[in-house]
């Protein structure tokens, strides 16, 4: 089992190299990259031999694993894919692997009845659907929210490993507001998804404040296995995001009582799909409902309220009410100015 796992890691690393058309790859380059990956993900410091990489390339070229990778050598030195769009990740799954995946899905479905697995229902359904779709491309019974062009999702697995193994990271990051990218050391603590976008909750080495980095703004990062990892005390990350919508929050932020009026037409939608788990119905009459949520005031809260347009009105707190009113007026002015011009 361990041998198969290491072989797959080597194939994946070679594949990532050969997909990169902006660089020419010698056999020595591939050996270096694979050795680094084995050390980073498995802690293997002995590297990898030339013969092993040559054997891996032959295996990838063959039909043994169903890859049939079009690996060619240019100028008798540089390795690349003859087809620039090729990747082993696009290869069909062989019958043996498909049977194993079906068996795994079957086990997970049996476990789904236990309390600890309640939150896995949608994940298991998605996995089963993808397995069936791989076996028969015409079968697709569930469509989940997905964004094929979403950037940064390739970082999820290595970042998760860094959190799991308590490994500091040197991250090159460029926010939307920054003029240039920054390079800093961070201690990673949590991966969080919000509306099909992923974020890393971490702490920079240079200060004590928690930060939330969007994965799609991470340019690259490197594990620093020799750097001391610092835990973040005083925060239970299982509850850290309980009092807000989205991911924007500092340790000093506290929830406030937000009172909203929802018109009669939209009331059923808000009742069946609460804006926040703290939602309570304060009043219900012929005009609609008044609800209360206890959340931190952040950008995501404002965007959620604005998304309801004229169907929702902020009653309290006064500051949030003023901000929403100002943003609505500013938006209306843009349309008025457009009509006048």
Residue 298: inside a domain, yes or no? yes
Residue 278: inside a domain, yes or no? yes
The reply to whether 116 and 191 lie within a common domain is no
DSSP codes of every residue in 97-127: HHHHHHHHHHHHHHHTTSGGGGGGHHHHHHH
Residue 143: inside a domain, yes or no? no
pLDDT at residue 22 is higher than 60? yes
Number of domains in the chain: 4
Q: Which of 5-14, 109-118, 119-128 has the lowest mean pLDDT?
A: 109-118
Residue 41: inside a domain, yes or no? yes
Question: What CATH number did the domain enclosing 49 receive?
Answer: 1.10.10.10
Residue 3 is predicted with a pLDDT of: 45
The reply to whether 264 and 335 lie within a common domain is yes
Question: What's the mean pLDDT in 281-305?
Answer: 96
The reply to whether 11 and 61 lie within a common domain is yes
Residue 10 is predicted with a pLDDT of: 93
Task: Note the residue count of the chain.
Answer: 341
Residue 15 is predicted with a pLDDT of: 94
pLDDT at residue 94 is higher than 70? no
Task: Give the up-direction half-sphere exposure of residue 104: CA atoms within 13 A in the CB hemisphere.
Answer: 14
Residue 245: inside a domain, yes or no? no
Residue 92 is predicted with a pLDDT of: 62
Q: Which of 208, 223, 238 is the last residue of a domain?
A: 223
Question: What CATH number did the domain enclosing 212 receive?
Answer: 2.30.30
pLDDT at residue 111 is higher than 80? no
C-alpha distances in Å from residue 6, one per residue of 11, 31, 94, 101: 9, 14, 19, 19
DSSP codes of every residue in 317-329: -HHHHHHHHHHHH
Task: Kindly report, residue by residue over 269-289, the tens digit of the pLDDT.
Answer: 999 999 999 999 999 999 999
Residue 167 contacts residue 224 (beta carbons within 8 Å): yes
The reply to whether 7 and 21 lie within a common domain is yes
Residue 176 is predicted with a pLDDT of: 86
The reply to whether 85 and 101 lie within a common domain is no
pLDDT band at 96 (very low <50, low <70, confident <90, very high): low
Give me 328's structure tokens: 């609505």
Residue 141: inside a domain, yes or no? no
Question: What's the mean pLDDT in 196-209?
Answer: 91
The reply to whether 185 and 202 lie within a common domain is yes
The reply to whether 217 and 286 lie within a common domain is no
**Mean of per-residue pLDDT scores for the chain:** 86
Residue 12: inside a domain, yes or no? yes
The reply to whether 104 and 33 lie within a common domain is no
Q: Which of 171, 206, 223 is the last residue of a domain?
A: 223
In the chain, % of residues over pLDDT 90? 55
Residue 275 structural domain: 256-339
Q: How many helices (H) and strands (E) does the chain have?
A: 9, 11
Task: Kindly report, residue by residue over 139-168, the tens digit of the pLDDT.
Answer: 556 666 666 667 788 888 889 889 999 999
Question: What's the mean pLDDT in 190-198?
Answer: 88
Residue 325: inside a domain, yes or no? yes
Rounded to two decimals, the pTM is: 0.63
């Amino acid at each position: 089992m361990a041998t198969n796992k290491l072989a797959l890691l080597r194939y994946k690393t070679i594949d990532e190299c050969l997909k990169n058309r902006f660089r020419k790859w010698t056999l020595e380059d591939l050996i270096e990259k694979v050795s680094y990956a084995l050390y980073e993900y498995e802690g293997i410091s002995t590297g990898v031999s030339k013969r092993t990489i040559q054997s891996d390339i032959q295996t990838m070229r063959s039909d043994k694993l169903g890859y049939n990778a079009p690996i060619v050598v240019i100028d008798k030195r540089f390795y690349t894919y003859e087809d620039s769009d090729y990747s082993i990740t696009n290869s069909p799954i062989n019958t043996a692997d498909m049977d194993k995946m079906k068996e795994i899905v079957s086990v997970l479905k049996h476990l789904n009845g236990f309390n600890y697995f309640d939150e896995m229902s949608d994940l298991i359904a998605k996995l089963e659907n993808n397995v069936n779709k791989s076996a028969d491309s015409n079968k697709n019974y569930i469509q989940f929210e997905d964004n094929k062009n979403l950037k940064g999702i390739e970082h999820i697995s290595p970042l998760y490993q860094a959190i799991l193994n308590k490994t500091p990271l040197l991250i090159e990051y460029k926010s939307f507001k920054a003029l240039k990218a920054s390079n800093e050391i961070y201690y990673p603590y949590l991966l969080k998804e919000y509306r099909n976008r992923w974020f890393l909750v971490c702490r920079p080495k240079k200060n004590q404040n928690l930060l939330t980095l969007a994965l799609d703004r991470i340019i690259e990062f490197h594990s620093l296995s020799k750097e001391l990892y610092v835990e973040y005390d005083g925060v239970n990350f299982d509850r850290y995001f309980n009092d807000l919508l989205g991911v924007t929050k500092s340790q000093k932020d506290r929830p406030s009582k937000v009172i909203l009026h929802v018109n009669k037409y939209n009331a059923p939608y808000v009742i069946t799909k609460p804006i926040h788990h703290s939602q309570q119905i304060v009043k219900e009459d012929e005009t609609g409902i008044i609800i209360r949520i206890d959340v931190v005031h952040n950008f995501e809260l404002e965007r959620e309220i604005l998304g309801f347009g004229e169907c929702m009105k902020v009653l309290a707190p006064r500051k949030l009410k003023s901000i929403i009113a100002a943003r609505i007026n500013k938006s209306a002015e843009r349309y008025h100015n457009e009509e006048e011009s």
